[in-house]
Each structure stands twice: as structure tokens, then as C-alpha cells.
A and B are shown apart, each in its own frame.
Chain A
């Protein structure tokens, strides 16, 4: 089983749609969780951290379910500029960050 698994997509959605990504992780001792965004030919950039209580940042909502070992990202009212690859990142130990394969999102007019 991979350490961090994501549905690679692609997800093709119209503007204004709501889209959700899930990610599962295998190491129950993992402590920190993040969603990153990567645009074509660019470096990954932090979108948001994921907290146990769930957290929201504008149109983005992240959830963590430790019992089931998955995290999710919900994007509401999708914009064209949301088109990117979304990477699930799990810190399985201090100094040890593991990435999912990424989920590609394309938002169309």
C-alpha cells in the first residue's frame, strides 16, 4: 500500500462547481497534514494546513479523519484559476514529508 494515495483524476468541472478531493495515508503515527497546489512547471505551494477540527479558508475547506486515515479538500464555486494539480502531503515523522501523486483539476468556462 502506498504511504499517501490520491485519485489522480483528472477532474474536469465547470466554473462555479463544487469539487472534492480525498487522500488516504497509511501511517497512523502521522502528525501533520497539508494540501499543496502545483501549477504546470512550477514548484508546489502551500494551499492550507489540515487540522483535526477541520478548517476553512474562503472557498476551500479541509477535513481530517484520523480514525479512517484520510484527509479531504473541498473547493466551492470553482474558478478558472483553480485549475492546477492538488497534492496531499503527510508528515509521517519529523523531517519526513510524503506526497500523494496529485489530483489534476481543470475548471472550464
Chain B
């Protein structure tokens, strides 16, 4: 009964490729997020969506395009991958002002 799931768990790819990461939550939450955790372990917000509507876009390069087909899903597509995109990407969901739940993370390595 996974609350927030992400696929794939690991992603290894070459520079210049395009890849997608999927996220689904079964908690009925209205808000979903993407976070990036780099090698220094700092968790930085990238996007948040509320009921499929983009709320926060935190100065992320436009190579990153989130898509929310419904409020239970928030996918992340990345074009023209660069070395600096290597990180762990976490999806999360929350409701109103309550504590968010995180997915297990997707470890992206760009070679």
C-alpha cells in the first residue's frame, strides 16, 4: 500500500538524452511536489502543483517540464540531460498545511 510511488528508482543515461520520471500518490492529496537533492544533500523545491495547476516553479531550467494529468500523478520530463542534473529526485504530496509524504526517490546519473 505505497502512499507515494516513483518510477524508475534508478536511471542512468547519457548527456543529451531525454528522460521521464513518474510519480503517483494514493493519499487523495491535492498538492504534489518535485524536489531535487544534490550531492551536498540539500533538498531544493523544483515545482509544486495543486489540483493539476502549477503553483511553484522555482527557477528551474525550462529543460524540466512537469506534467500533472490528474491530481494523483505528477510526472517530470527532462530534455537534453546535463551532468549537473545528476541527483536524487523526490516526489512528495501533501494536503493543506499538513506534513508531506515523500516517495522513495529516483537516483538519476548522467554520464
Which residues of A are at the interface with B, using a C-beta cutoff of 8 A? Answer: 31-32, 34, 42-46, 49, 85, 87, 89, 91, 94-99, 101-102
Contacts and interface: CB of A to CB of B under 8 A. Distances in A.
Interface string B65-92: 0000000000000000000000000101
Nearest to A3: B45
B97 A96 contact: no
Contacts of B27: none
B45 A94 contact: no
Interface range on chain B (Cβ under 8 Å from partner): 20 to 34
7 contacts: A32-B97, A32-B99, A43-B102, A95-B48, A97-B45, A98-B45, A99-B42
Contact of A95 (B41, B55, B90): B55
Given A85-B41, A87-B43, A43 B103 contact: yes
Nearest to B101: A46
Interface of B: 31, 33, 35, 40-45, 48, 50, 55-56, 90, 92, 94, 96-105
Contacts of B42: 99, 101-102
A49 B42 CA distance: 20
A27 to B, nearest CB: 14
B43 A95 contact: no
Contacts of A31: 97
Contacts of A42: 104-105
B94 to A, nearest CB: 7
Contact of A43 (B41, B44, B48, B104): B104
Given A95-B94, A101-B42, A102-B43, 6 more contacts: A31-B97, A42-B104, A42-B105, A94-B96, A95-B31, A97-B33
Nearest to A87: B43
B41 A96 contact: no
